[in-house]
Amino acid sequence: MKSGAIVIAILVVATMFGLVSKSNRGRFRVKKNFHPILSRAEIGADLGSVATVLQFSSAFCAPCRATRQILENLTPQFPGIAHIEIDAESHLELVRRLKVHQTPTTLFLDANGQEIGRAVGAPKKSQLVAVLEKLHGAAHVH
């Protein structure tokens, strides 16, 4: 049956798409060729002395709230790492320049404000702990 095959094909392709996007959600990715440097003026808040976690959110986005809660609880445990939340809709210039395509997108900046990597979509707590420990550890080595 032709339409039966079409239905199966749609479901298979959609499942693959869904699984890929799910596994990419919230995963920390190191920036390879695009390293924007952000200043205090652009962000509107002080950068952390060790690193900055810059979260782009939009109003009423539920995963953004969850990410904020995790980060607000976590970052105080890492001295020198600041958590800054930015409303994407009121910072569209920045959103375009940084190529933020969805909320939440969480950028990880070094002490100079240069992006090291980012997580697109809501990260799990364990994923954030791993990144923060890495940022914190890296700062102590230097």
Partner 1 sequence: MAQPTFIDARGPRFSAAITTIVLIVALLTRSTLLTIWQLLVFAISAFYSMPNSPYGFVYRRVIAPYLNKRKNFSGQVPTEDSRPPRFAQQMGFGFVLLATVGALSHTWLLFTVATAACIFAAFLNSAFNYCLGCAIYLQGIRIFR
Among 32, 33, 96, 126, binds partner 1 (CB under 8 A): 96
Question: ω into residue 79 within 30 of 0, thus cis?
Answer: no
**Least distance (Å) from partner 1 to the CB of residue 69?**
12
Contact present, 18 and 121 (Cβ < 8 Å): no
Q: Is 101 in the site for partner 1 (CB under 8 A)?
A: yes
Among 14, 37, 45, 138, binds partner 1 (CB under 8 A): 14
DSSP 69-88: HHHHHHGGGSTTEEEEEEEG
Contacts of 63 (CB under 8 A, 6+ apart): 103, 104, 121, 122
Q: Is 140 in the site for partner 1 (CB under 8 A)?
A: no
Q: Is 17 in the site for partner 1 (CB under 8 A)?
A: yes
User: Distance between CA atoms of 129 and 70, rounded to whole angstroms?
Assistant: 10
Among 55, 103, 105, 106, binds partner 1 (CB under 8 A): 103
User: Distance between CA atoms of 111 and 117, rounded to whole angstroms?
Assistant: 13
Q: Is 23 in the site for partner 1 (CB under 8 A)?
A: no
Write out the binding residues for partner 1, residues 24-83 only, by CB under 8 A. Answer: 58-62
> Which residues of the shown chain bind partner 1 in the complex (CB under 8 A)?
1, 3-4, 6-7, 10-11, 13-15, 17-19, 21-22, 58-62, 89, 92, 95-96, 101-103
